[in-house]
Structure 1
Amino acid sequence: MYTLASILIPIHSKQHLIRDTELPIYDLAYDSRKIRNAEHSLFFALKNVRDGHTFIRDAYQKGVRAFVVSREDIDVVSYPEASFFWVDDVLAALQKLASYHREKFNKPVIGITGSNGKTIVKEWLTQLLQEDKKVYQSPKSYNSQLGVALSLWDLSDDYDCAIIEAGISLPDEMDQLEAMIRPDIGIMTNIGVAHADGFTSKALKITEKIKLFKHAKDVIFPSRYGFEVYLPAGSRTFTFGESDRDDVKIGRIEERRDGSSSIQVSYRQEIATFTVPFIDKASIENVLICLTTLLFLGYSLDAIVHKLGRLRPLEMRLQLKTGRNNCSIIDDTYSNDLASLQIALDFLHQQQQHKKKTLILSDMEGLNEKLQMKLISILRQQNLTRIIVVGKTLKYLQDKLQIPLLFFASTEELVRNLREISLENESILLKGSRRYHLEDVSKLLVAKSHETVLEINLSALEHNLKVYRSILPSNVKLMVMVKAFSYGSGSYEVANLLQFNKVDYLTVAFADEGVELRQHGIDLPIMVLSPDEQVFESLLTSSLEPEIYSFRILKALISFLRMRKEKAFPIHIKIDTGMHRLGFLPDEMEELVTLLAAAPEVKVKTIFSHLVAAGNEQHADFTKQQIALFSASVDRLEARLGYKVVRHIANTAGIVNWPSAYMDMVRLGIGLYGVDMDEKMVLEKVSELKTTITQIKELPAGETVGYDRKGVLHRPSRIATVKIGYADGYSRRFGGGVGEMSINGQKVRTVGSICMDMCMLDVTDMVAHELDEVVVFPDLMEASRRIDTIPYELLVNISARVKRVYFYG
């Protein structure tokens, strides 16, 4: 914890106005839209795309009372409770504060840089280490001047080590990153031509990146890049390669028929051979960087080989999609540099389903003559059928390649002429920088999906989160329920979005769900509902916090922690105020607090209960009774525990209807996913279950449809069979005309019984064709009423075999 007084020196304030020197600061803010703990936030008015000074009023109105600014014209009279720190450079002040905080972290810090593979190596190392260590990693690709600073702020001694990624695109950027990260151990992944236009030579780029290791004791890297000549004097190196001088010697690397690679390595007279599910050079090099790092950290070769076998490809932007006219589309339309082009071409080469291979390539900015020759060399090495070029700067390829080329000045021109280009029975790689919008071409080339999918609009989910946050006081924390596969919407995909938007807590139903979130980079506090004794080990190793609801489970946990010599393990106490499902009864408070007070192995993080009927006005008196009973019970517990805890009782319905129940934190569930049981909130639909028509039949009156001949036709009918059944989560209760779907905007009813994988619809009174898209639940609330249930059941029952497709917009 920091106070305003303690922040004064590290940010190098040249002038200040402090109203409350002892005001605690927990959060750093730079975006007024994402402030959650306003009273204890320090707002940095960054001058970036938008001037942060223009959002000071918004932040102040949300409760922020401390600001770091650079402009002299701020009317401080308008902010009578606010403290201000004036600095020359706001971003530099933020970086200095991050550096100051980093110095307090006394555990090993690993710094990663390089041209490519930083994020993958970071993620894989975290995955490999977190089985027996608490690893902090900079989130996602937070490797920029701002991202690194924000990452370091979350460092704490709760972790055994930290892995921080650093990325640069211009000279002199690494000095600031190094001053913040100060890695004890350095990892240099590789050197390529990413950001080539920012550096006059490859040597200059290496020199700049190597600055990250100015004070590092040891540096790990592939020896083939020759980084050692650029390292500071006295740096110790730990390398892998094919030379006897390497610490880790790489032997045979063999591609297997199943798409994996067999790799032989030797280390200190030990030889081991292992298999990884990759054959591309970039992934193999990243695996070897991870192996070498673990050897350096003291893991045995046998133990590492066992760990590496569990690595899987990370989800990256390059996607393989089914295209029209029997084509395969490799969509990599977000970046375009030589290194990533080579990786994408390697992937194209792996596609053996078509003999013909086409590259659609946008212009590459910033290529000097040497890099132009490198591009020509790369393309000459490929067995390409043709290249389609978008832009005007790659005309020099015309006379340098023996491959047919087509040139288009713009993406729009290519789109206009796409029908005249014969694209069929081939693999097509789209490789382009963002500004060329080659995704527009991808949309035209990709075949319409004819499978059952659940489309999830992440921007709608983010909107709904903002709607609920907008009615909460700024000092109320937010716990979000991601149990039951996030109400059918996914797991870490949703949790990642919530983490980005800085919710305070996540809640899962089972420990396995929490473990999966940890494995995918979720570092938010996670509460596990109703755990049993079999999952205590998972709770401990994955930093998961259990709900404690009975004396049996509490005593068992204390005993387990005592054997493990753990202290102050975070727990959440559940009080039964009327739900009568789980929890301690109010008259058990004395016995409970006596047990807790005598158990240093645990520390109560929150105490909570569950409102039975917060959305039902008929039970308002009972809800008031629950709130009062809960508050009295927590008061008794806090008085004996001797410390404050976070209180929460309001669920989604409580957020909408009971502001008096907000307390310290609220729990947001089904409302986040676009379902408001009270229909009072303006929410956006998050998910839509879709399928397609497989076949349409013309049947005469008197015929029957489906099992047991339950679907009797009383008129000549057109019956459409669609690809969804009860194995996908479409309940059998929707059979016999109860279920209603939508085709081309028109609603139609089910016919006969619901089958395991399919069901039938009556499309007699509308125009419908095979392969038409079908919306399964045109109105989720109405669908739930038809089978006497609630939307929760419909959402959580959507089978995991139904493909989830995520998109923004």
Structure 2
Amino acid sequence: MEHITFDEIINAIDGEEYIKSNYMEYKSVSTDTRKIPKDSIFIALKGENFNANNFVKEASEKGASLCIVDEIKFDSSHLNPNTSIIKVENTKKALLKLAAYYRKKLNLKVIGITGSTGKTSTKDLVAAALSGKYKVFKTKGNFNNEIGLPLMIFQLDDSYDIAVLEMGMSNLNEIHNLAEVAEPDIALITNIGVSHLENLKTRENILKAKMEITDFFNEKSILIINTDNDLLATVENRLYSVLRTGIENGKDFKAVDINLDEKHINFRVVESNSYTSPIINIAIPGKHNILNTLLAIGCSRSLGMSYEEILDGLENLEVTSMRLDIVRGNKFTIIDDSYNASPDSMRAAIEVLATIEGKRKIAVLGTMRELGNTSYDLHKEIGEYAKIKGIDYIYTVGEYSEAYLAGFSNSNNSKNFNNIEEVIEHIKDIVSIEDVILVKASRSMKFENIVNNLKMINC
């Protein structure tokens, strides 16, 4: 964290000085007293089931040099004399304001990434591609909301050239708030799907919410979109530049000469119907990852990178775990995609399952969340898609299991289970040499437990 003063902080967050010590070393920002380092700024957040204002004394004892609070729930005489206190009306808003101020102090480019699916994979690809020329920071894990994104910004300093920041949301105005903090120079939108229909009701509203990433753009800003997506294809030219990528409709960056196997994507890029790139070969599976890579290439090219630099950078690709991780064991193959699930990512995972060599293709599927009134129909469509793609068996856990089975319409090769333990025991009984098993559900269902158990019998 670059140097920032007490007075800068109090002005940035519209705070009130409560205690001002003579010690003013601020090296990091924390919202969790369990992990708080010395010389940090502790911001006491409140939620439905917790109030961090209760832990100011603990933060002070652990070496916090500044605590930002919205309630006084401590005895000042019990604090470390090196701890200052600033009081604000709302600590969550203070976190956002301080991050926005700090971002403005940094001399770097910010790439913002959003979309219904593929955000994290695209983040990994963008960061890797850019690393061929620049020093790059990328969002860690899923720190992509109104608490996580500011904490990522506080980890930046001017040693970085570029920050690649993932931006998630569940409703309108959330991406707007993140964009106000991060002020992205370039924004990427992967697709507009049906995740969050429960809150937003229509895909058009989801598009509106995702487009908030451009709310603070100027004429030098760049928006890069996957125009194979039907709704993103409707985005018109704006004050800022719009670059369009795709396999079918990539006006500015289009993938051609595509080859896929269970471990790689292989293609070339045609730029603006003229220049054709060298072969792009990346050790990740799935046609959807070509779309994600095109966004990364468009971003890299807009920042002046050559294809040689991009290819060098992609050699450094580090993918986030539990996202289409193919585990070849001595007996069978596991496709671990247990991090999240939406209709688009389900189709992508089933497509990968269909392409992998093996005897029987088995899909273990759980609930897709936040689909609102369309939930049953969308789960049924995934069952239908699995059948079309030639999947041999589907096993389901969760509230929309019957919808999957109705779509798959093969009662002999499908079964619903009450819990994870039951499906694990069943697979242990029926799995054969060279089977391929896809495990996928929303994160809250903890399907990684299925994967871990399967790994134990696959040695």
Normalising TM by the smaller chain, what interval?
A: 0.7 to 0.9
Choose the corresponding residue for 1:411, options 410, 420, 430: 420
Are the counterparts in 2 of residues 329 and 427 from structure 1 also a CA contact under 8 Å?
Answer: yes
CA distance in 2, matches of 1:375, 1:159: 42
Residue 43 of structure 1 corresponds to 42
Residue 59 of structure 2 corresponds to 59
TM-score (norm: length of structure 1)? 0.50
The Cα of 1:175 is off from its aligned counterpart by: 2.1
* % identical equivalent positions: 25
CA distance in 1, matches of 2:262, 2:370: 39
The Cα of 1:377 is off from its aligned counterpart by: 4.2
The Cα of 1:305 is off from its aligned counterpart by: 6.4
Are the counterparts in 1 of residues 227 and 249 from structure 2 also a CA contact under 8 Å?
Answer: no
CA distance in 1, matches of 2:404, 2:250: 41
Matches within 5 A, 1:486-635: none
CA distance in 1, matches of 2:185, 2:223: 9
Are the counterparts in 1 of residues 270 and 276 from structure 2 also a CA contact under 8 Å?
Answer: yes
CA distance in 2, matches of 1:346, 1:223: 20
Are the counterparts in 1 of residues 18 and 85 from structure 2 also a CA contact under 8 Å?
Answer: yes
Matches within 5 A, 1:688-727: none
Paired residue secondary structure (1:209)? helix
Residue 171 of structure 1 corresponds to 172
Residue 209 of structure 1 corresponds to 210
Q: Encode CA deviations 1:180-202: one digit per residue, 9 max, x unaligned.
A: 00112111122333444342121
Are the counterparts in 2 of residues 4 and 22 from structure 1 also a CA contact under 8 Å?
Answer: no
Q: 1:329 to 1:392 in 2, by over 3 A?
A: same
CA distance in 2, matches of 1:397, 1:244: 31
Residue 381 of structure 1 corresponds to 388
Q: Encode CA deviations 1:308-340: one digit per residue, 9 max, x unaligned.
A: 77365625314444568x433333334332233
CA distance in 2, matches of 1:374, 1:138: 33
Q: 1:152 to 1:331 in 2, by over 3 A?
A: closer
Q: Encode CA deviations 1:265-293: one digit per residue, 9 max, x unaligned.
A: 23463223414134511221122112212
Q: 1:79 to 1:397 in 2, by over 3 A?
A: closer
Q: Encode CA deviations 1:664-707: one digit per residue, 9 max, x unaligned.
A: xxxxxxxxxxxxxxxxxxxxxxxxxxxxxxxxxxxxxxxxxxxx
Are the counterparts in 1 of residues 228 and 249 from structure 2 also a CA contact under 8 Å?
Answer: no
The Cα of 1:303 is off from its aligned counterpart by: 3.1
Choose the corresponding residue for 2:431, options 401, 423, 441: 423
Paired residue secondary structure (1:329)? strand
Return the letter of the residue paired with 1:247: D
Residue 147 of structure 2 corresponds to 146
The Cα of 1:10 is off from its aligned counterpart by: 0.9
Instruction: Give the RMSD, CA atoms, in angstroms.
Output: 3.1
Q: Does 1:293 align with 2:299?
A: yes
Residue 337 of structure 1 corresponds to 342
The Cα of 1:149 is off from its aligned counterpart by: 0.5
Residue 23 of structure 1 corresponds to 24
Q: 1:374 to 1:440 in 2, by over 3 A?
A: same
Residue 478 of structure 1 corresponds to none
Higher relative contact order (CA 8 A, sep 6+): 2
Are the counterparts in 2 of residues 333 and 433 from structure 1 also a CA contact under 8 Å?
Answer: yes
Choose the corresponding residue for 1:222, options 223, 226, 233: 226
Q: Does 1:402 align with 2:409?
A: yes
Paired residue secondary structure (1:171)? coil
Are the counterparts in 2 of residues 254 and 263 from structure 1 also a CA contact under 8 Å?
Answer: no
Q: Does 1:10 align with 2:12?
A: yes
Return the letter of the residue paired with 2:61: Q
Q: Does 1:371 align with 2:413?
A: no
Deviates more, 1:186-195 or 1:209-218: 186-195
Are the counterparts in 2 of residues 251 and 265 from structure 1 also a CA contact under 8 Å?
Answer: yes
CA distance in 2, matches of 1:245, 1:345: 24
Q: 1:191 to 1:260 in 2, by over 3 A?
A: same
Paired residue secondary structure (1:400)? helix
Q: Encode CA deviations 1:28-71: one digit per residue, 9 max, x unaligned.
A: 1222222222xx32211112453212221211212324211112
Residue 504 of structure 1 corresponds to none
Paired residue secondary structure (2:12)? coil
> Larger C-alpha radius of gyration, 1 or 2?
1
Return the letter of the residue paired with 2:361: K
Choose the corresponding residue for 1:358, options 355, 362, 367: 362
Return the letter of the residue paired with 2:362: T
CA distance in 2, matches of 1:365, 1:424: 31
The Cα of 1:234 is off from its aligned counterpart by: 1.8
Residue 118 of structure 2 corresponds to 117
CA distance in 1, matches of 2:211, 2:370: 23
CA distance in 2, matches of 1:394, 1:256: 30
Q: 1:246 to 1:113 in 2, by over 3 A?
A: same
CA distance in 2, matches of 1:350, 1:110: 33
Q: Encode CA deviations 1:736-762: one digit per residue, 9 max, x unaligned.
A: xxxxxxxxxxxxxxxxxxxxxxxxxxx
Residue 75 of structure 1 corresponds to 75
Paired residue secondary structure (2:165)? strand
Are the counterparts in 2 of residues 410 and 436 from structure 1 also a CA contact under 8 Å?
Answer: no
CA distance in 1, matches of 2:356, 2:332: 11
Return the letter of the residue paired with 1:58: E
CA distance in 2, matches of 1:257, 1:55: 50
The Cα of 1:259 is off from its aligned counterpart by: 4.7
Paired residue secondary structure (2:188)? strand
Are the counterparts in 2 of residues 207 and 230 from structure 1 also a CA contact under 8 Å?
Answer: no
CA distance in 2, matches of 1:444, 1:149: 36
Are the counterparts in 1 of residues 67 and 86 from structure 2 also a CA contact under 8 Å?
Answer: yes
Are the counterparts in 2 of residues 329 and 442 from structure 1 also a CA contact under 8 Å?
Answer: yes
Return the letter of the residue paired with 2:12: P
Matches within 5 A, 1:273-352: 273-277=278-282, 278-300=284-306, 302-303=307-308, 306-307=311-312, 310=315, 312=317, 314=319, 316-317=321-322, 318-321=324-327, 326-352=331-357
Residue 271 of structure 1 corresponds to 276
The Cα of 1:244 is off from its aligned counterpart by: 8.2
Paired residue secondary structure (2:121)? helix
CA distance in 1, matches of 2:42, 2:261: 54
CA distance in 1, matches of 2:125, 2:215: 25
CA distance in 1, matches of 2:65, 2:262: 62
Return the letter of the residue paired with 1:161: I
Residue 100 of structure 2 corresponds to 99
Return the letter of the residue paired with 2:9: I
TM-score (norm: length of structure 2)? 0.85
Return the letter of the residue paired with 2:17: H
Paired residue secondary structure (1:387)? strand
Deviates more, 1:365-374 or 1:58-67: 365-374
Q: Structure 1: state its 5+ residue gaps.
A: 451-809
Are the counterparts in 2 of residues 361 and 390 from structure 1 also a CA contact under 8 Å?
Answer: yes
Return the letter of the residue paired with 1:345: I
The Cα of 1:211 is off from its aligned counterpart by: 0.5
Q: 1:303 to 1:215 in 2, by over 3 A?
A: same
CA distance in 2, matches of 1:151, 1:440: 29
CA distance in 2, matches of 1:140, 1:29: 16
